[in-house]
Structure 1
């Protein structure tokens, strides 16, 4: 006896691919265009009306500039799938969303507190900066960590936290260079970054409602200061 599987079953390895294929086909049939740089990003432009859909597994974020068009699109999705409307976006993948007349505020406060609690630093004294000034982490030769996975796990979480915390960009950039063979000094420097988070766990990004859409940037090169690559480190801000 041979059984032929005519459709994917939940839990099989091919289920996510089949689900996303069906979802993307339904969105394209409605008129959405799939981004080539991010395949989970879909956009629909009809005159001055724009819809944007972001997909993660079976969760969707729907945004746009016309409420009636969004309602019509939700009705279309309800006809295609068994779906549940969770209302206005408040929490997604660890990112908390708050709205006010000033704009939209994004932060990862709960995620930050989880990062602080994991190494047991909830009662530690906060650090004033995420990394020491004029550090020499690349030259440290302390003992190699017996369990490098804890360092890599912490750095992975800090990298994700950087989405709403641009003030961590430089520290994470430096510390992530040592994930292959982290040493005790690197671990201590990473814990300093965690102690810095304790002083401002709810800090995030505000997308102002009266933004003028002008880009402001600056560059400050420190001229071949990296002892490993002899490259300059420059910064820019938008």
Structure 2
């Protein structure tokens, strides 16, 4: 299917995204559209029109041997809950598996992902830890930021020390895991309310102890 998808979708009037090669969009009339995403032999899709949805399913079943699995509930570690009041996304199972993998499922929870005013540095004089295990945990945490933007900053900080991590750096990693356990079921999504645009910005000037670089961040909701 991977080799044929571009030809099939182009033939059906779908436009392939220039920035995301597995994403296809088809517009119908002035207001209706359908969005399709491919991953290996899986397809997820959404549309503003039930007619387009039924048409798409019929076309795909004629082209390929496939089954309709119904509403999306789980995809690549993402858990999706669709209800009348909105759509909510979480990675509870993924987070729980990550805690279990690093033997932190029964640890003491923490209410914050970092120690207050903690400053990490490359040369801290502490004993080195297994860099491969450290990098594996960083990778797992980075994937978790898809639904957990609240850990994006601490994960970005600890990822600076993947080459030569010390016990202090590993302790900072485990602090993030303790925080994840504290609110394991966190989810985000869309609800039926009036939207407002909110901008939040913060800066930590010359915060890096290694090179005195500043860190600034913003969140647009």
TM (normalized to structure 2)?
0.93
Q: Kindly indicate whether the alpha-carbon contact (under 8 Å) linking 1:175 and 1:186 is maintained by their aligned counterparts in 2.
A: yes
Residue of structure 2 aligned with 1:191, choices 174, 186, 189: 174
Counterpart secondary structure, 1:221: strand
- Per the alignment, residue 127 of structure 1 pairs with 110
1:228 Cα shift? 3.1
RMSD over aligned Cα, in angstroms?
1.4
- Per the alignment, residue 9 of structure 1 pairs with none
Residue of structure 2 aligned with 1:168, choices 141, 151, 154: 151
Q: Kindly indicate whether the alpha-carbon contact (under 8 Å) linking 1:53 and 1:62 is maintained by their aligned counterparts in 2.
A: yes
Measure, in 2, the Cα distance between the counterparts of 1:127 and 1:224. Answer: 27
* Structure 1: tracts of 5 or more residues without a match: 1-18
What is the number of residues matched between the two proteins? 218
Question: How do residues 1-16 of structure 1 correspond to structure 2 at under 5 angstroms?
Answer: none
Measure, in 2, the Cα distance between the counterparts of 1:211 and 1:85. Answer: 33
1:67 Cα shift? 1.1
1:102 Cα shift? 2.4
1:116 Cα shift? 1.0
Question: How do residues 1-238 of structure 1 correspond to structure 2 at under 5 angstroms?
Answer: 19-46=1-28, 47-138=30-121, 140-145=124-129, 147-212=130-195, 214-237=196-219, 238=221
Q: Deviations over 1:112-167 (max 9, x none)?
A: 1111111212221101111112112115231121x211111111110000000111
Measure, in 2, the Cα distance between the counterparts of 1:155 and 1:126. Answer: 19
1:45 Cα shift? 1.4
Counterpart secondary structure, 1:234: strand
Q: Kindly indicate whether the alpha-carbon contact (under 8 Å) linking 1:104 and 1:209 is maintained by their aligned counterparts in 2.
A: no
